[in-house]
Each structure stands twice: as C-alpha cells, then as structure tokens.
Structure 1
C-alpha cells in the first residue's frame, strides 16, 4: 500500500501525507489524525530504513552496562530493562544491550557512537567519576546516565536517593533500640553502592554507633548467606542486618531462617534493598527499601531518553526519586 493511495483517498498531496506520518510540525494535528487513521485502516507501514535516512535518525537506543559485576543476574535490573524496551517499542524505537568491559583498552560502546548506530545511550551503574560519561560528553553524544557522576558540564540523569534509603532504614532500626547493625554492601565502587554505604555510615555516626559490622561482599545469594553465618558467629553478633541488594539479601534471609532467627523470640531484624526476589524460597514478609515499580521506572527513563533525542535541554532531564521503606514483619526491637 503506497502513500499515493492514502493521499488520493483523503484528497491530500503525497508530500503532506508523508510529512504527517513522519510527525512534522508544519502539518496540523487534525490532518495528522486523519492520515494516521487512514494509514492504520489500510495497514500501511512506512519504509523504516528510508525514513531513518531521510530524517537522520536510527530509531535505536543503546543501554550500556558493565560486565563486572554481572547485572544481568540481577532481577531488578532485568525487570527495568524489560520495561524500558517495552516503552520504547511503543514509539518504534529499539533498545540494544551493550556490554562494556572496564578493563578493555577501548570501550565497545564508542563504536556505536562513532558509527552513529544509535540515537542516544543509556549508561547504567555509573561511577562517581565515570570515564564513560566523560568520553561521551567530550564527543558531544546524547546520553542519559542512570546515576549521578562528577562531570564538568550538565548532563541528563535519572537516579534514586540511595543515601536516603539506607539512612532512613538505619535510623528506623536505631529508633527501635538497635545498636549493633550490620550492612552487607556490594564490593565495588559504583555510585549507588557508595551512596547506600554512606547513608548507613552517616546514620551510625550521628548516634555514635560502631561500624564494625560493615561487610563488603559480592552480590550473590551465597555471599549473603555466608556473611550472615559469620556475623552471627561473632561473640556480640548484630541484632539487625541491612543488605544493599536483593541477591545477597535473599541469601541473608535464608541464613537467618535456617538458624531460626528470621522470626520468633530470638529474631534478628532484616531489611533488604529492593525487597526479596520474586523467586525467593523465603515466604516471610521481609522489610524492604523499595524504589518504585519497574513499570514506573521504565516509563520515566523511556520518556527522558525520548526527550533527549528530540533535543530537550539536559538541564530539564535530571530526575531524583525517593525510595520508600516498608517494614514488613522483620523489623522489631532487639530480641
């Protein structure tokens, strides 16, 4: 089905029909609606490749993620990726996953930039001083950072207040009378990890409590399980535990459950960032720091990256969301 047939049916020129389907501003909304309705009725789909060449757009966005640690093992990250992809697909924009090796001489995503294979990049798991973002900013290429970093010029970013999440959770435990509070934190220097660690440490410092129960562990169930076993074997074990990701949070919950400490008279309070994974075998309603829904995050990020592609100022594309604390049944005064 050609543009000519649509133009003839509506009494419009082929040029007007083409510009209406491609979203040009010089075509009225009424005319666009008529053209789109007729195109849909006829099952017309434009030649995507030709349209991309004409408009200088690729209709693809790359999502850059680090190889180490492996975020594809994280259900929260993968749920978010799925929602971003679904939202962008509604605008006929494809999402490409680009693995990036920090130890490589050259970042693989720069091939996408230099070959103009994507319209913009989403950069996940940022660092406080992130060479990827610095390189993209120097190249003048549009990007949306998932996390804040230190850059010389303004840039688009979306983030959660990770500091506030652990700070509020730790303060809540302290208000219940806990003094020996452990944090199982990921053993890397990505920005969201350091921010969560800082929130925990700041709350302890404010009340002059010991930081001896801080542990840096890999983001795995096994590491969380073993860390809790070791903590509970101490002469003065913690009375409360916070984990900064749900993978080792699940391991921590399993360890406490196996030791009879997740519930009951000798229970140890537990707070898991992002909540337990959906496939967890632990059925107890564990306390959590929740970062909105994956659907909400996907819509927000997709909207921002589409705005970036359309030329919105980066200063208007800077969004910080606040996490929420849900107490569940695993936050109680010390046993």
Structure 2
C-alpha cells in the first residue's frame, strides 16, 4: 500500500458515499485545489505529485463527478450520434460493426455516446438542441450525402464532429473512410483484365456518397479500359443493404451478356449466390465484393469463389471516436483518416493489374 495514503478508515466502505476530492486531499495532506488541478490535467502540478494523486485516487476508488468537471473544463465527455428513425438501420450488421468500434473507443477514452434518432426532417433540430444546451462535446455523422445539411450546420456553428465517409467538402472537416472510388475502380479493372466486358454492379443507395463513389469508380475504369457506362448494369438497393441481394442478382442474370458481378456488401453477395445456384446452367460468373469484415457472417464457404476487397468497419468505428476525441481534447481542425483495404482474389483470377498504379487523373 502507498504509505502516503491514510488507512482505509478514511475511505467510504461498500455502498457508502462516493470518494470526493476532499477525501483525497485529507488522505494526502494536500489542498483541494492541488488535487483538482492534478486530476484535470493542469500543467502547474508536478509530475511526481500528479502520479501520487492518481495512485491514491485509484486505491480509494475515486470517480470524477461529471457535473463538477463540466463546470471546470466546460466539457461533458458526451458524444452525440444522431440516427434517422429507421427500424432496419438498428439491426443492420454494418451499423452494428461501426457501433462496436465506437463504443469500445469511447470507453477507453472515458467518453459516453448519446445515441438518439429522429425523422430526417427533424434531425437538424436535434443537432441544434445539443449545440444550444451544450450537452455534448462533439458529434458523429454517418452516411454522408453530397450537400449534407448536417455537415453544413456543424461547420457553421464550429463544433467538433467527425464523418464516417466523405463528400465534396471533405477538406473542411474530420473524417474516417475507405477508398470507395479506388476499390471499385480496381475491382472493375480486375474484371476487365480477366476478359469480362459486361459487368453488373449490385450497389447500395446512391443517395449516400459511399455508393455514389463506388459507381463512379466502376464507370471510370470502364472508360479508361476503352469501354463505356453502357457496359455496366447498375442495380441499387435501398439503405440499409442486406435483403436485396437475391432479387437484384436475379435482375442482373436476366441480361445474358453479364459475366461478372460486383457487390457493395458481402450480405448481398451471399444472397446473390443463391440466385446464381438456382438459375443453374453452364454460365460462368466472376464474383467480387466489398467485405466489411462482419463478425457474424462466415465467408469461408466462398473462399476461392469470390474475390474480396476487405476493410474493417469495426476499425473505422474506433477511428471515428479517436479522431473526435482528439478534436475535443486537443482542438485544431479535423483530420482525415483512410482505413486500408486489401484484395483477396478468387481462384484463377489474374490480379497483375492490381499492382499497376491508378492513373493520375483517377486518384
């Protein structure tokens, strides 16, 4: 036991009252002001004293009073994440993966996440309420759109926020994303290099930039390959993606020219595989899909059959909360963070083209 901390009789027992700064001050023989400034990270407290106070706080079970801290630091340690009121969104495995990363990162950083929802037409009122009552330190935005009013509002009021994804104003705020454009540019280029000329893209909802940029990447790869948009059959699901794979794959297969299918989600790819099996026949199809590393989905039966471009949504969630905490605690402008992706090819696919740099005008 640290000899500088008074014996246990000075500490509350069991379910008694919480340990306070006053208790720490009495146990250590220091002023309440010194204890408070050390626990709140002020630089005028020496490192040796700071460590002594931190160890005593740990031994005595001290937990900071958030309301008292808020008065001193003007920070709440609360993060708001406002969702559109969509029953399907809350059971979407993609959302769950991001949320797992966010919650673990928030716990490690000693922040709480305030998760709420409202209808799209009332979402901005929720942001406005949180800003005006100063009940949160920052915001997470997901599923950005071009001209997104949430981004415009938070830029105008100057509050910390981070976006899962990007739009045309990405240079003005913090974000975490994958290279949606580049990944689907390269998947399309892979199919072209392996002899496929008519490709179906089973995509997400193009109201959101992730899906919009994926289609643009595929179209540009076709153009750079001497073909054109007519060689890409685009089939869009509503958000969230998940239960449209069978139907949209059936529509893709209705075009006998299609020999390759790109999917925006492994959920749709797995459902689409059922449509391919049901159709039967001798048709040889190349399948490639975005793989967000959904923990509940076992893709081992499709190893060697599908080509995958993999990137972890859980890692993206951790990156979101990490960037937002950095903004809240250090200040300064938001920063962009690109989560890496890796390609894993089906048997028989020649991936040499993936080693070639993307043309400069497509970066």
TM range (shorter): 0.7 to 0.9
Could you say if the C-alpha distance between residues 280 and 85 of structure 1 is closer, same or farther in structure 2, counting changes exceeding 3 Å? Answer: closer
Which has the higher Rg, Structure 1 or Structure 2? 2
Q: Does residue 46 of the first structure (1) align with residue 46 of the second (2)?
A: no
Partner of 2:233: 213
Alignment of 1:169-208 (within 5 A): 169-208=187-226
Partner secondary structure for residue 310 of structure 1: helix
Alignment of 1:1-335 (within 5 A): 1-67=19-85, 70-104=88-122, 106-151=124-169, 154-209=172-227, 210-218=230-238, 219-236=240-257, 238-260=258-280, 266-274=283-291, 277-280=294-297, 283-285=301-303, 286-292=306-312, 294=314, 296-315=315-334, 317-329=335-347
| Residues 201-242 of structure 1, C-alpha deviations (whole Å, 9 max, x = no match) | 111111133434221222444421011112223232x11111
Q: Contact 2:99 / 2:317 at 8 angstroms: preserved in 1? A: yes
Q: CA deviation at 1:266?
A: 4.3
Partner secondary structure for residue 98 of structure 2: helix
Q: CA deviation at 1:278?
A: 4.4
Q: CA deviation at 1:37?
A: 1.0
CA RMSD between the two structures: 2.7
Q: Contact 1:123 / 1:143 at 8 angstroms: preserved in 2? A: yes
Unaligned runs of at least 5 residues, structure 1: none
The size of the alignment, in residue pairs, is 327
Partner secondary structure for residue 302 of structure 1: helix
Q: Contact 1:84 / 1:299 at 8 angstroms: preserved in 2? A: yes
Partner secondary structure for residue 152 of structure 2: helix
| Residues 169-194 of structure 1, C-alpha deviations (whole Å, 9 max, x = no match) | 11112111111211011233211111
Partner secondary structure for residue 159 of structure 2: coil
Partner secondary structure for residue 248 of structure 1: helix
Unaligned runs of at least 5 residues, structure 2: 1-18, 352-363
Could you say if the C-alpha distance between residues 275 and 13 of structure 1 is closer, same or farther in structure 2, counting changes exceeding 3 Å? Answer: closer
Could you say if the C-alpha distance between residues 321 and 11 of structure 1 is closer, same or farther in structure 2, counting changes exceeding 3 Å? Answer: same
Q: What is the distance in 1 between the residues matched to 2:204 and 2:87?
A: 9
| Residues 52-97 of structure 1, C-alpha deviations (whole Å, 9 max, x = no match) | 2332111100123334695433312211112111111122210122
Q: What is the distance in 1 between the residues matched to 2:181 and 2:117?
A: 27
